[in-house]
Structure formats: C-alpha cells, structure tokens
Amino acid sequence: MGYQGLSVRRRIVYTFDRLGDMVFTQEYNPLYWLGTICFFFLMLITISGIYLFLFYRTSSPYETVQYLTVNQWYLGGIMRSIHRYASDGFVLFMAIHLLREFLLGRYRQWRWLSWGSGMALLTVSIGIGITGYFLIWDERAQVIAIKTAQLLNDIPIFVEPPQRSFLSNAAVDMMIFFVLLLGHLAISFIVIGILIAIHISRNARPGIKPPKALAAALLLVLLILSIISPATSAPPADMERMPINTPFDWLYLFIYPLSSFLPKSAFWITSVGGTLLLFVLPWVGRLKRQQPVQITESCVGCEQCHKDCPYEAIRMVPRRDSRPYLLQAEVMANRCASCGICVGSCNSNVTDMPNKTREQIEKEISELLSHVRKQNGTQMIIGFVCENSIKINELINSEGRSLKDMPDVPVIIFPCVGMLNHSMIEYALKSGADGVFICGCQIKECYYREGSKWAQQRLAGERAPVLMSNEGFDYSRIRAYWLSPLRGRELLKEVAIFRNELKDKAKHRYYNLIEPLQEKGYKKTIAFSAVSALLILTAILFFLFTKPTYSMYSKDISLIKFTLKRPGKFATEGKELTKKDTESKLKHMQKTQSQFQQMRMEYGRERLPTYVEIDLGGKRILSKTYYPTGLRRDGSTFAYEEILISPGAYDINIRMRDSKEDGIFEYTFDEKIELSVGKVAIIDFDRVKNRFFILGEEEEEREGE
C-alpha cells in the first residue's frame, strides 16, 4: 500500500508526528509509543487497584473510599488518584492509538485481529471504568445508576423496570456492590488479560515497555497531579435528592449525556450501530490482498526469516525431503503481510515475492544502469526506496524509474525497505553504480513494524545477513535515509549532496552515513524533556481545573417518581364457566374456591391492564395504561415514571382502575405534597393495603404505630 498522493488523514498523522519529533525527539515521541504507554498505565492501574481492594468494604462503600481519600491521603489518597488518572490516561491513549491506526489505514487484512481486539479492549475498559465509579457510591455513582437503569429499560428483557432497584435509599441492595466488585476484578484481570494476549498474538516481539525516560516522566506527572489535584468523591448518593452539577469523567461516562441529548432511537442506532461498524471496519471496502511470499524447497532451515518476520507469519516445520537439515520454513498465508522482509533476511536466496522476484530485481538494476550515462563526471547512483517512506507521485517520475529532476538517478521501489537483501546492493555496485542510497520509513514508525530497523542493523553489520566486506566494497558509497512522507523533499537535497561527495571521492566511515537525516536538528537534551513534561502537565491540569460537571436535571426543578407493582384482576374474574368450558377441562383445572384459584392453566390467566391518571394542582400530568407482563399477559403490572415539576406545594390526586368499565376507579389517592428544589417525592402502591402512599410518610406512619 503506497502513498500515491498522500491522503488528508495520513498527512494529519505525519504532521503531528513531526511536531512530536520537534518537542520530544524521535526517541521519546509518545506518538510512537502509544501501545506501550497504554500497557504502562495498565500496570499502574493494577498495582493501585490491588491496594484499594485491600481496604474496600461492600457494606459501606462510600465510607471506605472516604477513609482512603481523607484519613489515609498520604498513601491511600495518592493510590486512588493514580488509579483514576492512570485509568483516564489508559482510555485516552488507547483511543488515540486506534485513531492513529485508522488514519494510517493500518487495520485491514492481516491486522484485522489486532484492530478487533483493540476495539474490544477499549469497549471493555470503558465498562470497567463505569463499574469502578459505581463502586464509590457517591452522587456520580447515583447518576450512573439512574442512567444505566434507564438504558437497560430500553432493552425488552427485563420484566421489572430496572429503575425500581434504585427507587430509594432503602431499595438499594448492598449485594449489588459485591457483584459489581467481583465483576470489576474478574473482567479487569481475566478479560483484559485475554484481550491483550490476542491483541499482540500476531506481532513478533511486541513492545510492552516504553523508554525508561518516558515512563518516568509519565509517572512523575501522575504523582504531581495526585498531589495538586487529588481524586475526590462527590457527596454521598441520596436517591431522595436530584443529582445536580455532579463531578463527571467525560472520558468514561460520555455515553450518559449522549443518551440524554439524542432521541432514544437515534441514540441506540448511533451507539450500537457505530460500535458494530468500528468492529467490522477491516472488511468495509477491503483492498485486494497481495500474494504471500513463496519459499522454495531448497530452504536450509537457518530460521532467520522466522526470526525477522514482524507478524510471525513464518514457522519452522520438520523437513519433508531428504536434505540434511532438520527444519524448513513455511509461510502462513493468512498472516503474511507481503512486506518482503523475509526476502531481505534470507542468505540462501530461497524466498521471493511472486510479483517482484530477485531475478526481476537484478534485471531491473541492469536495465536502469544501462540507460544512465555518465555526463560531465556525474556519478551514477541507484536508489532502493520504500513506497511508504515518501510520496511517490511527488518524488518519482511518472514512469517510476528515477527521481524527479534527477533522471540520471534511477530508483527501484519496494513494499518495504526491509526487503532489500545485501546481494541486491552488491549486484548494483558490481554492475557499475558509483553509489547506492536506501530510503525507508522512520525507524520508530515503520509501516511494517520492523522493516527499517532490520535494514539498518543489516547495513551496520549487526544482524544477519550483512554486506560482505571481503568483496572490497567501500562503505562510503552507501547512504541510508529514514524518512516520514512529509520530509520526502529532503531526500532530493541529500542525494545531491551524496552525488557531490562521490564526485569528490570523500571518504566517510559507514556509521556516520547510515542515517544522516534522522538526527539532524534534533538533540536529545534535558531541556526538551523538561519542556515535554511541562506541556503534558499543563494540558492535563487545564482539563482538571476546569472542574467538568454534568447536570442530569435542572437546578431549579423537583421530581416525582411514580411507581407500582401489583397483579391486576383476571380478565375473566366474576364470569361463570359454561358447561362446555367445564367439560373441556380436567377437574383440577376448573375454577374453584380453593387458595390455588389463580393457578389455572389455560382459562382465565390473562389479567386486565391498569389505567392510571394523576392530577397535580388541578393539571393532568399523567394519563397512561400499563399492561401485565408475560407472553400471555398473566404476570404482574409494573409502572415507573419520572415527572419533573416546579418546586412548591400541590394537591395531588391519583386514580387507578383495572376493570373494563370506563369511568370507574377502584383506587384513589388525594394528598397535599410540598417539594423543595432538588427534592424527590416517591409515590408507590402498597399491595397489602391496596393503596398509594408517599415514601417517607409511610415510614413515619409505621413508626407512629
């Protein structure tokens, strides 16, 4: 996949990469270490989470967290802050990592498993974070409980409205904290561990550790944040008060404001459809896959291609012929990226790309050099260029055979510079080239992960196979450049300098020539590191000191929660069975006066719907029919409504019926109710006394009795 005209999304990525190089240097640019930074944050989350778990009590969640935050601020408070900020960093850097891979187009074909597991990691991590906030049981957890219950109510699998589980403080079962804690820990350790294993399973030598300096800087930033702006709890959850201006973590809890902002159908289409689309993205408009590498039976089993393959697409298997070697290489086509790195690693000339064989490359070298004539002492140079390192259409002639403005500098384009074998360089020099230049991706940002790295080490003689020095080649005749596509223009200048140096027969040691563009203008100094840390700290502090909040309800409003749970009357209650009905049923299934009268198998199981009217201050605020649950409409009837009203004193009148006759209400309720700002009034139905009551007043009544 080349850059035939660099797309806007790739240009955006490389622009930020270049800015990062200028601030952090290429060695410590966080954009090159996003995956390892996520793993580093995950380790901090695990360590701090284990410490918090030792003190957490499900019987008093808010109190135990407050003890750690206030009474044990010097350690428990810091651990909690690190746990919170590292969790935010984990999600933030993971999202940036996925966005970067998408913009670069690195999610299709052989990368589909990494993309899918990465998306699953992000989704599961957000879910774990939400349960973590719930376990604190403060006002923020109250918002989570209410909004989650509302979302679950949209899923038609619950018989009883989930909101009834959080109707009042007394209704909240402490067992839920035990279940959530167990799920929080199990998902964190087991599911996340499995997803990480899957995510890196097809990457050889996966990076899990950022550079020590970068890790130390990130840890220092977290510690400073934990001291300057420690993580604290909101006021304790109170289901009888409305949560207003609640401290909010938008990185984890964004789904709740989204569900309030969008219509119900639009929210579910956006959230579920968008998530599914991201998972299937590798197969949307999928590009044609290149043919995998081919390995002949002459393989000597040296294992170098197996060691060099960045995607573990080559395995060593027992030999299937009588040659005197134990193993031979075998390609797993479904994993092969068709990068050709194994071609560059083979010293036996047994690996080849079907569309660009060694024989074809050598023939192309000969043809290109034969068309170049030395004029006025101009040195003849040939280049081996990675198609992902520069913008081909800007720097290569339309015929694709030479640099623009340098028709006497022919080039051969490779899918990856890691495909370049030492024999190709030697062949070019033996065929009359005065010099050879190599252009690949930046070492830290190779499109195929390790192609540039292996090419650099082979040229430096640090990794097999290497250039044969006994052939008498002058290493000053070789140059290597590691570029970002946005710096491609510099290649033309450097090649011109290289040509002049060859002309003047300047002699340089190889190690000075291997990457002249890599470090130019970028000094790894303490000043850069200090500025980098300061930028990160400033950005995070700016976000934290804005004190992000979320108001689930208006601050000048009150709330009435109306709910009921009751079995309605049978639709056939009071109706005499006909002789035909009686004869068609067994004796034990017929209607009797026994205590098992309601256990009729077929006849009379359906219950009547329940109709409710509510007037507040003479104004109708609710008029609705609620239907029995069950496939046969034979279960209990549930109702749950939230009605926002202005604070004040009101006369409330409730009327309810479950008979077929209109205008007749079997149950009525008349009461005076007074609501202050932010107050929640809960009206429920007592199934024993068959009457409505206002929660709180009923408790006072019982205490009086």
Domain of 451: which CATH number?
3.40.50
b/e burial code for range 492-529 (CB count within 10 A of at least 16 → b): bebbeebbebbeeeeeeebeebbbbbbeeeeeeeeebb
Q: Kindly tell me if the per-residue pLDDT of 178 is higher than 80.
A: yes
> Is residue 511's pLDDT more than 80?
no
Contact 641, 562 (CB under 8 A): yes
Residue 289: the pLDDT is: 84
20 compared with 40, residue with greater pLDDT: 40
Are both 451 and 508 inside the same structural domain?
yes
Q: Are residues 615 and 681 in the same domain?
A: yes
pLDDT score at 700: 47
Q: Are residues 152 and 181 in the same domain?
A: yes
| Same domain? 320 vs 424 | no
CB distance 128 to 192 below 8 Å: yes
DSSP secondary structure letter of residue 585: S
Please report, for the domain that includes residue 630, its CATH number: 2.60.40
Same domain assignment for residues 66 and 146: yes
User: Could you tell me which residues are beta bridge partners of residue 410?
Assistant: 402
518: CB partners within 8 A, 6+ apart: 26, 442, 443, 482
pLDDT tens, residue by residue, 334-359:
999 999 999 999 988 899 999 999 99
Contact 365, 428 (CB under 8 A): yes
Taking the C-alpha atoms of 19, 22, 25 and 28 in order, what is their torsion angle to the nearest 10 degrees? -30
Q: Are residue 233 and residue 261 in the same domain, yes or no?
A: yes
Query: Among 290-294, 405-409, 639-643, whose mean pLDDT is lowest?
Result: 405-409
Alpha-helical runs (H) found in 504-640: 526-545, 579-583
Contact call for residues 48 and 82 (beta carbons, < 8 A): yes
The answer to whether position 84 is within a domain reads: yes
Distance of CA 412 to the CA centre of its chain: 38
What's the whole-number mean pLDDT along residues 608-628? 93
> What integer is the mean pLDDT of 677-685?
92
CA-nearest of 187, 210, 167 to 34 is: 210
Which stretches does DSSP call E strand in 128-265?
A: 246-247
- Judged against a pLDDT cut of 90, whether residue 688 lies above it is answered with no
pLDDT for residue 593 is more than 80: no
Over range 70-93, report the average pLDDT: 94
CATH value at residue 172: 1.20.810.10
Question: Looking up tokens 């284990």, which residue turns up?
Answer: 50
Tell whether the model's pLDDT for residue 555 goes beyond 70: yes
Top mean pLDDT of 44-48, 322-326, 456-460 is at: 44-48
| Separation CA 134–CA 132 (nearest Å) | 5
> What is the H or E stretch that residue 674 is in?
strand 667-675
User: Is residue 361 domain-resident?
Assistant: no
Q: How far is CA 61 from the centre of its chain?
A: 29
**According to the model, what pLDDT value does residue 473 have?**
60
Does any domain span residue 440? yes
Taking the CA atoms of the chain, what radius of gyration do you get in angstroms? 36
Residue 455 belongs to what domain range?
A: 370-521
Residue 383 lies in a domain: yes
pLDDT of amino acid 530: 61
For the chain, helix, strand, coil in percent to 5 are: 45, 15, 40
| CB-based contacts of 190, cutoff 8 Å, min separation 6 | none
Answer yes or no: do 163 and 203 share one domain.
yes
The secondary structure of 477-511 as a DSSP string is GEEEEEE-GGGTHHHHHHHHHHHHHHHTT----GG
pLDDT of 253 reads 93
Beta carbons of 204 and 310 less than 8 angstroms apart:
yes
| Residue 114 and residue 256 in one domain | yes
Q: What is the spatial distance between Cα 313 and Cα 335, in angstroms, rounded to a whole number?
A: 5
Q: Tell me the pLDDT tens digit for each residue of 411-468.
A: 999 999 999 999 999 999 989 898 999 999 999 889 999 999 999 999 888 899 987 6
> Which of 264, 283, 302 lies at the terminal end of a domain, its last residue?
283
425 lies in a domain? yes
Contact 438, 524 (CB under 8 A): no
Confidence of residue 583 (pLDDT cuts 50, 70, 90): low
Residue 43 located in a structural domain:
yes
Residue 310 above 80 pLDDT?
yes
Neighbours of 532 (CB within 10 A): 20
pLDDT of residue 547: 66
Inter-helix orientation angle 34-55/212-228, to 10°:
40
First to last CA, the chain: 81
**Co-location of 489 and 615 in the same domain:** no
Give the count of beta carbons closer than 10 Å to the beta carbon of residue 177. 22
Q: Which of 283, 315, 330 is the last residue of a domain?
A: 283
User: Using 50, 70 and 90 to split pLDDT, how confident is the model at 535?
Assistant: low
In this predicted structure, the answer to whether residue 600 has a pLDDT above a threshold of 80 is no
Q: Given this model, what pLDDT does residue 333 score?
A: 92
Q: Tens digit of pLDDT for each residue in 364-411? A: 999 998 887 655 556 789 999 999 998 888 888 877 688 988 888 999
Distance set, CA 676 to CA 170, 446, 541, 558 (Å): 21, 63, 37, 7
Last residue in a domain, options 463, 494, 521: 521
Q: For residues 554 and 102, what is the distance between their CA atoms, to the nearest angstrom?
A: 39
Q: How confident is the model at residue 485 (pLDDT cuts 50, 70, 90)?
A: confident
- What letter represents residue 551's amino acid? S
Q: What angle do CA 448, 452, 453 make, to 5 degrees?
A: 105
Residues 278 and 319 in one domain: no
| Cα 493 to Cα 404: distance, rounded to the nearest angstrom | 12
Q: How far is CA 378 from the centre of its chain?
A: 54
- Residue 474 domain-assigned? yes
Q: Which two tokens stand for residue 596?
A: 């098992």
More confident residue, 537 or 602: 537
Distance, CA of 230 to CA of 248 (rounded, Å): 14
CB atoms within 10 A of CB 351: 26
What's the domain count of the chain?
4
Average pLDDT, the chain: 85
**Residues 32, 149 share a domain:** yes
How much is the pLDDT for 410?
92
Whether residue 587 is contained in a domain is answered as no
The pLDDT score that the predictor gives to residue 129 is 95
Q: Is the pLDDT of residue 155 over 90?
A: no
pLDDT in tens, 222-258: 888 898 889 999 999 999 899 988 999 988 999 999 9
Q: What is the CATH number of the domain that holds 321?
A: 3.30.70.3270
Three-class SS state of 680: strand
Contact 325, 301 (CB under 8 A): yes
Least confident of 63-67, 223-227, 544-548: 544-548
Query: Looking at the structure, do residues 31 and 100 belong to the same domain, yes or no?
Result: yes
Contacts of 447 (CB under 8 A, 6+ apart): 1, 104, 106, 386, 388, 416, 441
From the list 362, 101, 369, 93, the residue with the least C-alpha distance to 218 is 93
Residue 60's pLDDT is 94
Asked if the model's pLDDT at residue 684 lies above 80, the reply is: yes
* Confidence check: pLDDT of 519 > 60: no
